[in-house]
A and B are shown apart, each in its own frame.
Chain A
């Protein structure tokens, strides 16, 4: 069902990932929810450890790339005793269609969650057609 929707194609591009990064850190793919509302497509990504200053969102042609830099945890005079996660940077790219109004894309970060709102371009918005009688 959702596959039929064209607004946001599911294909993930390697995009800028093909190039090598200058920071020698591990890069993780943030877990992301994407949902569609009447006027927009909303992308919600879990990126613990990032704030509004360390997130970059770029839109090049039709590839939306989100990157987040995380400062590694280091504590003076402490050694790690148990670990379940490794902190690293985040990167993920999505292909978006032309039906998104590029000028009005909005993004916010709160408590390590990135929210990007991609408003649909005017002609794509569903119009209700009233049927005239007579």
Chain B
């Protein structure tokens, strides 16, 4: 199947790690979360824990004061705009790949959020929002009574 050519690739990827990554990606796929690469800006990841959810967004080169974050019950809305570099007269682009413009993203968090304790940090172009569960939404342990 693979002729000698296949192995002549200069950069062989680590197959073990790559398989593992593929497997976890497949698991995610079948658990109903479909990755939507490259469609929306900013790209968002959501991490869920027992006490809170962490939402991260890649937003390089944005003034953190101009990022609007609003939370209503279990819905998080992120909006703002990314400014274009203004070129002076006589300056020309050779290459323009970075995107700019206004954006809005709305996400539903899998539980009710304690709005008063939401915390957001912007560091190195990455926005991190911590959304704690509201008291009612915290998982409760139910003990079983024995007769």
Contacts and interface: CB of A to CB of B under 8 A. Distances in A.
Interface of A: 2, 5, 8, 10, 17-18, 20, 24, 31-38, 41, 44, 46-51, 73, 75-85, 110-113
A18 B9 CA distance: 10
Interface in B17-55: 17, 28, 33, 35-37, 40, 43-51, 53-54
Given A44-B85, A112-B124, A112-B126, A84 B94 contact: no
B3 interface: no
Secondary structure call for the B interface: loop
A37 B91 contact: yes
B45 A85 contact: yes
Contacts of A20: 11-12
A35 B8 CA distance: 38
Interface string B99-113: 100000001001000
A52 to B, nearest CB: 10
A66 B98 CA distance: 16
Nearest to A14: B10
Contact of B97 (A31, A80, A83, A112): A31
Contacts of A41: 94
Given A37-B88, A80-B28, A111-B62, A73 B46 contact: no
18 contacts: A2-B94, A2-B95, A24-B17, A33-B98, A41-B94, A46-B60, A48-B126, A51-B124, A79-B47, A79-B49, A80-B28, A81-B110, A82-B44, A83-B35, A83-B45, A84-B40, A85-B37, A111-B64
Contacts of B85: 33, 35, 44
Contact of A36 (B17, B58, B94): B94
Contact of B10 (A18, A31, A79): A18
A75 B54 contact: yes
A81 B10 contact: no
A33 B96 contact: yes
B93 interface: yes
Given A82-B44, A83-B46, A46 B35 contact: no
A41 B92 CA distance: 10
B95 A10 contact: yes
Contacts of A2: 92-95
A35 B33 CA distance: 39
Interface string B56-73: 101111101000000000
B14 interface: yes
A10 B95 CA distance: 9
Given A36-B94, A75-B49, A81-B47, 20 more contacts: A2-B95, A20-B11, A24-B17, A34-B94, A35-B93, A38-B90, A47-B60, A48-B59, A48-B60, A49-B125, A75-B54, A78-B49, A80-B47, A81-B33, A85-B45, A111-B60, A111-B124, A112-B61, A112-B125, A113-B60
